[in-house]
């Protein structure tokens, strides 16, 4: 009788016991071993599959399998006995990589002992590492975690949210996708931290990261009826118009300027206010006079009329000047 050892790997981010049909057939076909107790082991036992905890090395597993009843060759009088015996090692949350490597090397030296097979009983769903981010942040903000994070609130964190967003913007401007991935992680950290702190708000005002995600999901579905509700949209202009229409229906606003972020940089704010006024058909006159503020606003209006982004144009000019300053310093 030949021996087949299945290293069964499961996702720690899915509910225990949620396995593929092949995995369930496998754990029911032979003895199941594990290095320690786990939710997965408990779920198997609850379904009638015994799990033996075996704190040992690769040779210890082979010895334990060999010591099981019926581990020897089938008797001539029992032709129905299986030609292959299956044993399962239920990997822990980390995959038991060291144990698997040790077992693989052992069987590579003596391949006649057993055949080793890797089987995935479940996989991480897309976005699974977001659950890890939430879990790590919960540990950091809970008692015994990071004192600095526990001492923060939404107001003290506000500058960091802006700073991390600007750094992500810089990565886009530099066309550095590796850096962008890292900077977006820092932006996500701010989102997760704000949500975790909000869980402890008093007087029934608490909310969680699931509430944040839930509002986002509902908004994406509601504002994209051409994807989720069977509506048709012939081009990008129509999609944008539908988005704005739905947005207006959602929010009862008294002014075309309601919802404009007033804390954004003044140049971007000026462009946004001019854009909203134009879109709303409000033909308010620009301020006159030679003071710097009104003059700058008129420059922004001229830039928009020419199809230019004043914020981007000024940024480009400033960066070019910064390079000139550095070159001059070298001289």
pTM beyond 0.85: the answer is no
For residue 309, is pLDDT > 90? yes
Distances (CA, A) of 72 to 69, 79, 82, 84, 181: 8, 14, 11, 11, 55
Cα–Cα distance, 232 to 238 (Å, whole number): 9
**pLDDT tens digits, residue range 252-302?**
778 889 889 998 899 999 999 999 999 889 999 999 988 999 999 999 999
Residue 110 is encoded by which pair of tokens? 């003596």
Q: How confident is the model at residue 1 (pLDDT cuts 50, 70, 90)?
A: low
**pLDDT tens digits, residue range 75-119?**
455 555 556 789 999 999 888 899 999 999 999 999 999 999 999
Q: Which of 207, 56, 50, 60 is nearest to 42 (CA)?
A: 50
Q: Which of 85, 86, 89 is nearest to 33 (CA)?
A: 89
The percentage of the chain sitting over the pLDDT mark of 90, rounded to a whole number, equals 74
pLDDT of residue 133: 96
Is it true that domain 126-207 has CATH number 1.10.287.1080? yes
Average pLDDT over residues 10-32: 94
pLDDT of residue 80: 52
2-120 — its CATH code? 3.40.1010.10
């Amino acid at each position: 009788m030949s021996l087949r050892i299945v290293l069964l790997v499961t996702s720690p981010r899915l509910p225990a016991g949620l396995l593929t049909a092949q995995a369930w057939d496998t754990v029911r076909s032979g003895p199941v071993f594990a290095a320690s107790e786990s939710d997965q082991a408990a779920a198997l036992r609850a379904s009638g599959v015994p799990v033996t905890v075996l704190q040992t090395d690769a040779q210890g597993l082979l010895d334990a399998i060999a010591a099981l009843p019926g581990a020897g060759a089938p008797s001539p009088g029992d032709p129905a006995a299986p030609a292959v015996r299956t044993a399962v090692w239920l990997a822990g949350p980390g995959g038991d990589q060291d144990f698997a490597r040790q077992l693989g090397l052992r069987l590579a030296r003596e391949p006649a002992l057993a055949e080793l097979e890797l089987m995935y009983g479940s996989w991480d769903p897309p976005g699974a590492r977001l659950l890890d981010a939430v879990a790590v942040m919960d540990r950091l903000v809970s008692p015994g975690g990071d004192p600095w994070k526990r001492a923060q609130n939404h107001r003290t964190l506000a500058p960091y949210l802006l700073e991390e967003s600007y750094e992500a913007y810089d990565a886009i401007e530099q066309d550095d996708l590796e850096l962008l991935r890292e900077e977006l992680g820092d932006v996500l950290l701010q989102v997760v931290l704000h949500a975790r702190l909000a869980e402890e708000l008093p007087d029934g005002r608490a909310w969680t990261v699931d509430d944040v995600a839930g509002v986002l999901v509902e908004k994406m579905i509601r504002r994209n009826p051409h994807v989720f509700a069977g509506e048709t949209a012939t081009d990008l202009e129509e999609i944008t118009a539908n988005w704005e229409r739905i947005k207006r229906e959602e929010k009862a606003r008294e002014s075309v300027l309601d919802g404009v972020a007033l804390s954004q940089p003044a140049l971007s704010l000026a462009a946004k206010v001019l854009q909203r006024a134009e879109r709303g058909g409000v033909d308010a006159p620009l301020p006159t006079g030679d003071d710097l503020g009104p003059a700058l606003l008129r420059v922004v209006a001229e830039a928009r009329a020419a199809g230019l982004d004043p914020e981007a144009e000024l940024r480009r000019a400033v960066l070019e000047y910064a390079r000139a300053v550095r070159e001059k310093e070298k001289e």
